[in-house]
Amino acid sequence: MPSIPCPGCGREVSTAAVTCDHCGRSLENAPGRPPIAQAMPPQPVPLEPKSEGVGFRYGCAVLLVALVAAALWGVAALIWPHLD
């Protein structure tokens, strides 16, 4: 790995280091150091409309079946009163 001399103590340090391991001086603007890539600011992520999952659909189907069964039971009770 390439190294550069520390501007503070003169000892060799890695070009990937942010500070000198020996004296603690910042190496951001040290001569011979490759420029540090600037991080891009985070971009907003477009929100997608939330879709209902399988659980929601399954719950609606069960509720519909229960309502239809209750309605049929009510109609059957009117037609055949002895079912109660």
Residue 44 pLDDT = 85
Residue 32 backbone zone (phi > 0: left; psi -120 to 50: alpha; other: beta): left
User: What residue spans define the domains of the chain?
Assistant: 1-33, 54-83
- Write the pLDDT tens digit of every residue in 53-84: 778 888 899 999 999 999 998 888 888 776 55
pTM summary value = 0.39
User: Cα 1 to the chain's mean position, in Å?
Assistant: 34
- Write the pLDDT tens digit of every residue in 3-58: 888 888 889 888 888 888 889 888 877 777 766 666 677 888 887 776 667 788 88
Cα–Cα separations (whole angstroms), residue 28 to 16, 47, 71: 10, 37, 76
Tokens standing for residue 6: 């520390």
Tokens standing for residue 78: 């009117």
